Amino acid sequence: MQSIHKTVLLNETIEGLDLNNKSIVLDATFGGGGHSLEICNRYPGIKIIALDQDASAFTKAKKKFKNVKCEISFANDNFRNLDKVLGEKKVDGIIFDLGLSSDQLENSGRGFSFTKNEPLSMQMQMQSKENKNSKGEELTAEEIVNTWEEKNLADIIYGYGEEKFARRIAKGIVEARAKKKIETTFDLVKIIEDSVPAFYKRGRLHFATRTFQALRIAVNDELGALEEGLAKGFSSLSAGGRMSVISFHSLEDRIVKRFFKQKERDGLAKLINKKPITPQKEEIINNNRSRSAKLRSLEKIK
């Protein structure tokens, strides 16, 4: 199956990296390969190291790279392990596109989307050692909703999803699982629907969005991985190298903003843009999922 993912802030991200034909780039979130392909087309002599924790991403995108003139290599790993992939190698540019790709939403079968009835996994495929249950098995959304205490459920739904009805949803989950195990995305959507007020179900944002986001973040330890990836990525940048990060919700953007500001205060980097770059109206019309994207870039001084 070919990739259906539309790359967000494509030109802005690449232009912010200030590359040339001799640059080495780490695409830390390869996804549909959109950024890497455009970089290859613009800079034929460039070297790209493509990283993704979902092995199927490379399979879907490989056809696009058959006739490119750049040098590209693939590594199946989470970007929190980019130091192991790179070793002592320094890079001139790093891209972090933190959005869930359309391929993962539509074709993964792992329960990321509340519009499809799928098993409640929400795993991005590869899991870190830290992100396993007490039995050493990989954590899933199904395990969270069926075994975690009500308070812990409410805490992650509010903390990771910024969901104002977190307590009501957590209570609904606990009551529902007492009658029947929660196994699919539609099971969970029905519980959320029954737990939130009527006006909330008529809002612009789907009433299940924030809960699904929270569970996905918890399953994959996304915020911990981001903090680790940013730190290791900055260490792997050569002097004058640049990092571009696209975030899609406030929790991610807060981490990126804080990290960049600290490097600037320490005299180790300079911000390329004082304020984040957001998609133009035309891009939002063509790709509604881009509407919440924010791009931040910095340059390493030393």
Q: What is the pLDDT of residue 107?
A: 62
Q: What is the mean pLDDT of the chain?
A: 90
Q: What is the pLDDT of residue 106?
A: 62
Q: Which of 5-9, 131-135, 283-287, 293-297 comes out lowest in average pLDDT? A: 131-135
pLDDT of 224 strictly over 50: yes
Q: What is the pLDDT of residue 101?
A: 64
Q: What is the pLDDT of residue 259?
A: 98
Residue 13: CA count within 13 A, CB half-sphere: 26
pLDDT of 204 strictly over 70: yes
**CA quadruple 78, 82, 86, 90: dihedral sign:** positive
Distance CA 243, CA 28 (A): 10
Question: 10-103+223-300 is classed in which CATH architecture?
Answer: 3-Layer(aba) Sandwich (3.40)
Q: What is the pLDDT of residue 136?
A: 39
Q: For residue range 98-119, list pLDDT tens digits in order.
A: 987 655 566 668 899 999 999 9
Q: Which of 60-74, 116-130, 232-246 comes out lowest in average pLDDT? A: 116-130
pLDDT of 174 strictly over 50: yes
Q: What is the pLDDT of residue 63?
A: 81
Q: What is the pLDDT of residue 159?
A: 97
Among the four given CATH numbers 1.10.150.170, 3.40.50.300, 3.10.20.30, 3.40.50.620, the one describing domain 132-220: 1.10.150.170
User: Do 10-103+223-300 and 132-220 show the same overall fold?
Assistant: no
Domain residue spans in the chain? 10-103+223-300, 132-220
pLDDT of 67 strictly over 90: no
Q: What is the pLDDT of residue 248?
A: 92
What φ, ψ does residue 219 adopt, rounded to 5°? -60, -40
Q: Which of 7-11, 102-106, 169-173, 259-263 comes out lowest in average pLDDT? A: 102-106
Please state whether beta strands 294-300 and 237-247 pair in parallel, antiparallel, or not at all (unpaired).
antiparallel
With cut-offs at 50, 70 and 90, classify the pLDDT of residue 5: low
